[in-house]
Structure 1
């Protein structure tokens, strides 16, 4: 309908009496009249700018997290609208929905900006409880962020990726060993960091046996001394658990137990 008709209906229909069933439909809320209210407040077709204003509008204040997200993702320009916002506006939007699912759907450059800048946002109600961008709170988003951040094949990037929570336990070994500098990255680690990697890697013998003899020697002699190693197989580097690793270190003739 034309805008003037919509306005007349909203102004006058709530006053209508004695029409069976009409009462339930006379609350002109976004839940009941999304298209009508969008046309009235934002025009016939939503642009990037009007989509942004809709996302920040009080029209949506009564929607729960799921309803709010569903309302947004049906809009053609919701990603562009979100990316055009100030950090305070972005923070507000994230408080209105399940932030990890929503943010992980954004382009990588938007994810990067959010992860690196939103933690500094203050005075946005409800944001303090979700402003910590880590793998516990944002597993999907942080996976995308870390893969992008460390995509350049350097030793330092590979080390950072290996020590992060980017990969699940089942995919860690294969994903790490695909990196060009994974051996150098492991060799550059502290013994505490080496232990963290061995906790993640699953196939410890396969992984360690690919290292140089000097790295294996350092690892075998020192990692078992690190606090926390006693709860892992690495506490005892023997031929039962590490046949390939110890064969490389000591040769075929030595059945060495440590």
Structure 2
């Protein structure tokens, strides 16, 4: 049985199944990347709900695993060299799990890096921009009289959706016929933009054709449906 005692987080969220990958997360657009990946890859894992509303990512036990104080993070009891291994940052975790399983990342070097570039596109552009747009539209729009921040993030979000719309011409998935971690990285953010943030009209989502069809295909996948609800909030 794996020994996770070197990780302080295991004292706050004890592992019932220490031989499984431990997932510390919340079903946000960043969090569901990893739960969807775990479901798609069929890996055994144990989810732990981290209540970001109660600032649980800022307690010492969590910061010992992720000093940036964000979700998600994982511990793989069977990491490199067969030793327990902790990892944070959703993009890094996607790459790690893809390479660990040999799934959802092309083996051809050129296509592999092409896939990785779209994951980085999500990490560097889509996530930050959609998140800021959501903040200024849903949460701070009434309090902040200066509308320039909202306009900036709206315009950039529309541009980024246009990049995806162009990329998906003649393709079912970001990498064509192959569903990959690039799609997984993006699905939750596009879904959140028009769902939780309610910004579909703001970014003129209905004028797009390929992105909505891609989103519908992705959300129809059983592993995606499961992953979007993991970890469940404790009752």
Give me the TM-score of the superposition, normalised by structure 2. Answer: 0.25
Higher relative contact order, structure no. (Cα contacts within 8 Å, ≥ 6 residues apart): 2
TM (normalized to structure 1)?
0.23
